[in-house]
Amino acid sequence: TFQEVPRAPPDVIFNLTATYKADTFEKKVNLGVGAYRDDNGKPWVLPVVKKAEREIINDPELDHEYLPITGLVSFKEASIKLILGADNPAIKEKRVVAAQTISGTGANHLGALFLSRFYRKGSIVYVSNPTWANHKPIFNNVGFETRDYAYYDPKTIGLDIGGMLDSLENAPEGSIILLHACAHNPTGVDPTQEQWKAIADVMEKKNHFPFFDCAYQGFASGDLDRDAWAVRYFVERGFELLVCQSYAKNFGLYGQRAGCLTFVLRDSETALKVDSQLAKLQRAEISNPPAHGARIVSLVLNDSALFDEWVENLKTMSFRIQEMRRRLYVNLVELETPGTWNHITDQIGMFSFTGLKPHQVKVIKEKYHVYLTDNGRISMAGLSSKNVEYFAKAVDDVVRN
Ligand code: PMP
C-alpha cells in the first residue's frame, strides 16, 4: 500500500547532532542544536528544577492521574502572569485564556489549529525571512498557506525594518503575522522598542492578527519583563492576540514538553467560548497534556523563594551566553579577522547569525570539525571557555581563504 510513499529528508538539526556524535575528532564543536550547555559542554539541570523535582517526588499525595484537558490550572495561571505581567488589566477583565501544550511546538500547533478553524477563511500566515525551521511545516500541516515577510538584512547582519514594514503593509488585510517575542531564531536579531511600535502601527492599520512565539523568556536577556515587553505592548495597544510559551530553554526542561498557549481576547464572553473550543481541539489531539514538567514549572512560578532562585539560574545561563558572545568578538578582533563582528555582541539569545557563507560553513565543518547549519547560524550555548578561541581561529581561517 505504501510503496509510493516518497522518502522524506532527515531533519537538518537533528541530523547535524548525529553527525557530530559520530565524529571522533577530539576538538570537535557542536554549534548546531539549540540547547544550553555549561562551560564543560554538558547539559545543565537547573538547581531550582532539581529542588522542585525532589519536592514533587517526595510528596506522599503524588499520583499519576490525568490532568484536566487544557492542563494544570496553577501552571496555566502562572504562565499567563509570567508572560503578561501579574497586574495586567486583561487578566482582571477575565479576557485571557490558556491551554497547557506539548512545549512551544505544541503551543504553535494548537494555536495554528484553532486559527485554521475559527479565523477568517483563506487567511495567509506571514513568517519572518528566515524563521525557525518548524514554523512553516506547523502551519502547512493544518492547511495554511505561509509567506515570508522581510526581516534579516544580510548586508547589515541586522534587521531590515523598512522591508519588514513594507511586507506587513502589503500583506492582505487581516493576515496572521508570526512574531518572535524575543531572541529571534535563527538570527538573534530583535526589533528595538521603537521598531516594535512601528510594527504595531502597521498591524493595527491593516487589522493583522499577532501570533507571538515566545521560546526564550528570561533566557534572552536574563530579565523576564524585558523579554516579554513586545507581547505586553501589543496587549496594551488593544490587540487580540495569542502567545506561545515554551519552558524548554528557560527551565531546561527540553524533554518534558512543558508549554502554554495563551489567548488575549476582546471580552470575557469570547474568552469562555475560545476556552471551550481549545478544550475540544486538545481532547482530540492529545486528550490531556503531560504532568511532570508542568508540576515543576508550577511549583517554581508559584513560590516566591523558588522563583527568585530560578531568576538566578536564568541569569547564570544568559550571562554565560553573553560572555561567550563577548569572548568570541574579542578573539575575532584580536585576530583582525576581515569584516565587522559587532553583530555577535549586538544579537541576543541562544543563536547568532555569523554571516558565514555556505561554502565557508562547509570548510569549517570539514577542516575544523565545527558543526553549524549551512545558513551560518551558531548556537552560542555550544561555545565555552575551552573552545571559543579554537572556533574564532577557525572562523578567521575560513573568512580569509
Ligand atoms: N519556537 C521557537 C522560535 C523556537 O526556537 C523553539 C525551540 N527551538 C520553539 C518554538 C519550541 O521548542 P519546544 O517545542 O522544544 O518548546
- Which residue of the set 44, 76, 136, 249 is catalytic? 249
249 is an active site residue: yes
Q: Are residues 93 and 237 in the same domain?
A: yes
In a domain, 55, yes or no: no
CA distances from 195 to 159, 190, 201, 206, 208 (A): 10, 9, 10, 17, 17
Q: What are phi and psi of 230, to 5 degrees?
A: -60, -45
Q: Are residues 208 and 123 in the same domain?
A: yes
Helices then strands, each counted (H, E), the chain: 16, 13
> What would the DSSP string read from start to end of 243-290?
EEEE-TTTS--GGG-EEEEEEE-SSHHHHHHHHHHHHHHHHHHTSS--
Q: Are residues 280 and 368 in the same domain?
A: no
Q: Is 185 near ligand 1, meaning CB less than 6 Å away?
A: yes
Taking residue 399's Cβ as centre, other Cβ atoms within 10 Å add up to 19
For residue 107, the model assigns a pLDDT of 98
- The answer to whether 67 and 291 have CB atoms below 8 angstroms apart is yes
Whole-angstrom Cα distance, residue 130 to residue 151?
Answer: 7
In a domain, 129, yes or no: yes
Q: How does residue 385 score in pLDDT terms, banded at 50, 70 and 90?
A: very high
pLDDT in tens, 239-272: 999 999 999 999 999 999 999 999 999 999 999 9
pLDDT in tens, 339-360: 999 999 999 988 999 999 999 9
Q: Which atom of ligand 1 is nearest to the CA of 259?
A: 16
Most distant CA atoms of the chain, gap in Å: 64
CA of 251 to the centre of ligand 1 (A): 13
Q: Are residues 201 and 326 in the same domain?
A: no
CA of 366 to the centre of ligand 1 (A): 28
The reply to whether ipTM tops 0.90 is yes
For residue 14, the model assigns a pLDDT of 86
Q: Is 259 near ligand 1, meaning CB less than 6 Å away?
A: yes
Listed residues 302, 331, 366: the one ending a domain: 302
In a domain, 62, yes or no: no
Residue 398 has pLDDT above 90, yes or no: yes
CA of 221 to the centre of ligand 1 (A): 17
- Which residue of the set 44, 132, 310, 341 is catalytic? 132
The mean pLDDT of 282-286, rounded to a whole number, is 98
For residue 261, the model assigns a pLDDT of 98
The mean pLDDT of 94-110, rounded to a whole number, is 98
Q: Which atom of ligand 1 is nearest to the CA of 108?
A: 10
Q: Are residues 396 and 295 in the same domain?
A: no
For residue 13, the model assigns a pLDDT of 86
Residue 401 has pLDDT above 90, yes or no: no
273 is an active site residue: no
**Residue keyed to cell 492521574:** 65
Residue 389 has pLDDT above 90, yes or no: yes
In a domain, 208, yes or no: yes
- The answer to whether 98 and 131 have CB atoms below 8 angstroms apart is no
For residue 246, the model assigns a pLDDT of 98
Q: Are residues 207 and 351 in the same domain?
A: no
Q: Are residues 206 and 236 in the same domain?
A: yes
Percent of the chain with pLDDT over 70: 100
Listed residues 256, 276, 302: the one ending a domain: 302
For residue 50, the model assigns a pLDDT of 98
Classify residue 381 by its DSSP letter: G
44 is an active site residue: no
CA of 398 to the centre of ligand 1 (A): 30
- Which residue of the set 44, 136, 160, 213 is catalytic? 213
Give, using CA atoms, the residue closest to atom 5 of ligand 1.
185
The CATH number of the domain where 292 resides is what?
A: 3.40.640.10
**Residue keyed to cell 522581510:** 150
**Residue keyed to cell 519536592:** 55
Taking residue 113's Cβ as centre, other Cβ atoms within 10 Å add up to 22
- How many domains does the chain contain in total? 2
Classify residue 120 by its DSSP letter: P
Q: Which residues pair with 105 in a beta bridge?
A: none
CA of 334 to the centre of ligand 1 (A): 35
Range of the domain at 131: 73-302
Q: Are residues 37 and 95 in the same domain?
A: no
Q: Are residues 172 and 226 in the same domain?
A: yes
For residue 382, the model assigns a pLDDT of 95
Q: Are residues 178 and 29 in the same domain?
A: no
Q: Which atom of ligand 1 is nearest to the CA of 135?
A: 1
Q: Is 103 near ligand 1, meaning CB less than 6 Å away?
A: yes
CA distances from 372 to 28, 30, 251, 355, 364 (A): 11, 7, 24, 12, 9
Q: Is 88 near ligand 1, meaning CB less than 6 Å away?
A: no
Percent of the chain with pLDDT over 90: 94
CA of 333 to the centre of ligand 1 (A): 32
CA of 245 to the centre of ligand 1 (A): 9
Residue 11 has pLDDT above 90, yes or no: no
Q: Which atom of ligand 1 is nearest to the CA of 246?
A: 16
Q: How does residue 399 score in pLDDT terms, banded at 50, 70 and 90?
A: very high
The mean pLDDT of 82-94, rounded to a whole number, is 98
**Average pLDDT across the chain, whole number:** 96
In a domain, 3, yes or no: no
| Amino acid found at 198 | A
In a domain, 7, yes or no: no
Residue 184 has pLDDT above 90, yes or no: yes
Q: Which of 123, 179, 118 minimizes the C-alpha distance to 146?
A: 123
Q: Is 138 near ligand 1, meaning CB less than 6 Å away?
A: no
**Whole-model pTM?**
0.96
Q: Are residues 96 and 239 in the same domain?
A: yes
Q: Are residues 260 and 370 in the same domain?
A: no
Q: Is 245 near ligand 1, meaning CB less than 6 Å away?
A: no
Q: Is 213 near ligand 1, meaning CB less than 6 Å away?
A: yes
Residue 288 has pLDDT above 90, yes or no: yes
Buried b (16+ CB within 10 A) or exposed e, 312-340: ebbebbbebbbebbebbbbbbeebebeee
pLDDT in tens, 166-179: 999 999 999 999 99
Residue 324, classed as helix, strand or coil, is helix
The CATH number of the domain where 365 resides is what?
A: 3.90.1150.10
Whole-angstrom Cα distance, residue 244 to residue 178?
Answer: 11
Q: Which atom of ligand 1 is nearest to the CA of 132?
A: 3
